[in-house]
Amino acid sequence: MNSSLFTPDHKLTPYWWDAVPRPAPMAAALPARADVVVVGSGYTGLHAALQTARAGRHTLVLDAEDAGWGCSTRNGGQISTSVKPGFDQLARRHGAERARAIISEGQRSLAWMAQFIAAERIDCDFGVVGRFHAAHNAAQFTKLVQAVQSQPKGLEVEVHVVPRAEQHQELGTDAYWGGVVYRQHASVDPARYHQGLLERVVTAGADVVARCPVTRIENDGHAFRVITARGTVNARDVVIATNGYTGTLTPWLQRRVIPIGSYIIATEPLPVEQMKRLMPKNRIVSDTRKVVFYYRASPDQRRILFGGRVSTSETDPRISGPMLHADLVGVFPELAGTRISHSWCGFVAYTFDELMHIGRHDGVHYAMGYCGSGVGMGSYLGMKLGQQVLGLDEGRTAFDDLAFQTRPLYTGKPWFLAASIRYFRWRDGRNV
């Protein structure tokens, strides 16, 4: 580790946890039965639980670690429309009507997040700040402009082009070739949002038991037995909300998601004037690299939180931190001497078709595979999943019944990732 890059009091935990430490485990004992057992206490699991608990179902949320320990308190807090494939690609695969429905659902998830946070009065620094999506080369800038000019009819979003000559109004760097601003994209403090959600789930009557890994699920055709490290619970319904941490508990799902590391550093506090110059509009930022950089200011606008996929499987933030620092300096050379105060990582879940999936397998409900964009979509599909458990019509989504693909010989260990990332990095370096 290059220790001079870190502040003496640096932390290897998410910046967000300073203000919102992981909650102490709440429910002491495991109940013998519940109507609904939810495995995973991130946004997906808690939103599903909120629906079922408020409908009067005895709901039990279990997590192998502390509540919210997974991506839901580690992420960058950037909220978009979340669907990665474009209309043409989706239309080729699923037909125009389904493509339209999928993209509309992504747009709905973004609008719904704002409504949900406002209606529940969750104090979490949510703001519609807009996203500057930067072109990392000239060819990508041309593609962005074309995409803005040819938005599919009826699916237009609020977006405008920022030529390179005006880039400093968005971002204090010459590292990009201009970009576009998605005006509706939003930011949130992910851990405060999770904490507010957790409080509402508990208030609705759900039990949340942390540090309680689920090790097996048995189904006798009528009910489930959920076996955990701390005892067994009988349940009418089971929800799997484990996303990038999906493991051998659910081998069918494990074969369908690809866990990929995502990494963030926080800088030490920067002078106010410098922050105003580097991030004058306080936008969230991403770029057109396939191995993307994503970053933003901290809610107090004193630090830059800089994220990327600098590795595929590294779990030591002392190693990923300096790698991210080098990328940060590539964008903002004046930060070469700025130190890292926090470095952390988590595992997101990709899928073979780059779409999120919701459904039921062997009677067990699941939603996962947000491909790195799960703040809005994980929340939204978690809510829909809860409605599906309740058998409600409004639980239907455009993602229902989409084939959840795997690949021959793939068991959940992505041996092909390192080579793919190397290839994409090489490609990102070319003007294509």
Ligand X SMILES: Cc1cc2nc3c(=O)[nH]c(=O)nc-3n(C[C@H](O)[C@H](O)[C@H](O)COP(=O)(O)OP(=O)(O)OC[C@H]3O[C@@H](n4cnc5c(N)ncnc54)[C@H](O)[C@@H]3O)c2cc1C
- Token pair 């203000």 in the structure block, residue: 19
In 3D, which of 70, 74, 25 has the Cα closest to residue 45?
A: 70
- Token pair 């191995």 in the structure block, residue: 291
| Nearest-angstrom CA–CA distance, 121 and 328 | 35
- Choose the binding region for ligand X from 134-142, 316-324, 375-383, 394-402 (rule: CB under 6 A): 375-383
Work out how close the CB of 346 gets to ligand X at its nearest, in angstroms, rounded to a whole number: 3
Question: Helix, strand or coil for residue 124?
Answer: coil
- Choose the binding region for ligand X from 27-35, 265-273, 366-374, 396-404 (rule: CB under 6 A): 366-374
Q: How many residues appear in the chain?
A: 432
String of contacts with ligand X for each residue 129-168, x by CB under 6 A:
----------------------------------------
Nearer to ligand X, 47 or 57 (CB): 47
Q: Does 109 bind ligand X (CB under 6 A)?
A: no
Q: Name which position in 25, 172, 213, 412 contacts ligand X (CB under 6 A).
A: 213
Tell me phi and psi for residue 186, to 5 degrees.
-130, 170
Work out how close the CB of 79 gets to ligand X at its nearest, in angstroms, rounded to a whole number: 6
| Nearest-angstrom CA–CA distance, 77 and 296 | 9
- Please say whether the beta carbons of 358 and 399 come within 8 A: yes
In 3D, which of 297, 304, 428, 289 has the Cα closest to residue 372?
A: 289
Structure tokens at 133: 């999506």
- Choose the binding region for ligand X from 42-50, 102-110, 332-340, 410-418 (rule: CB under 6 A): 42-50
Q: Does 244 bind ligand X (CB under 6 A)?
A: yes
- Token pair 């493509």 in the structure block, residue: 99
Q: Name which position in 130, 259, 321, 346 contacts ligand X (CB under 6 A).
A: 346
- Total of chain residues touching ligand X, rule CB under 6 A: 46
The residue at minimum Cβ distance from ligand X is: 374
Structure tokens at 70: 């997974």
Q: Does 338 bind ligand X (CB under 6 A)?
A: no
Give how far Cα 76 sits from Cα of 32, 172, 194, 284, 308, Å: 37, 20, 13, 9, 10
Q: Name which position in 83, 233, 241, 383 contacts ligand X (CB under 6 A).
A: 241
Q: Name which position in 6, 15, 16, 43 contacts ligand X (CB under 6 A).
A: 43
Q: Name which position in 99, 102, 162, 375 contacts ligand X (CB under 6 A).
A: 375
Structure tokens at 11: 């932390």
Q: Name which position in 135, 249, 266, 275 contacts ligand X (CB under 6 A).
A: 249
Work out how close the CB of 388 gets to ligand X at its nearest, in angstroms, rounded to a whole number: 15
Nearer to ligand X, 56 or 251 (CB): 251
Strand pairing report for 179-182 and 159-162: antiparallel
Q: Does 258 bind ligand X (CB under 6 A)?
A: no
Cβ of 204: how many Cβ atoms within 10 Å?
17
DSSP structural state of residue 301: S
Work out how close the CB of 430 gets to ligand X at its nearest, in angstroms, rounded to a whole number: 26
DSSP structural state of residue 3: G
Structure tokens at 320: 């990923």
String of contacts with ligand X for each residue 79-98, x by CB under 6 A:
x-------------------
String of contacts with ligand X for each residue 263-292, x by CB under 6 A:
xx----------------------------
- Choose the binding region for ligand X from 16-24, 41-49, 132-140, 410-418 (rule: CB under 6 A): 41-49
Q: Could you tell me which residues are beta bridge partners of residue 50? A: none
Let me know how many helices (H) and strands (E) the chain has, helices first.
10, 19
Please report, as ranges, the residues that interact with ligand X according to CB under 6 A. 39-45, 62-65, 69-72, 74-79, 213-214, 241-245, 247, 249, 262-264, 294, 307, 345-346, 348, 368, 370, 372-376, 378
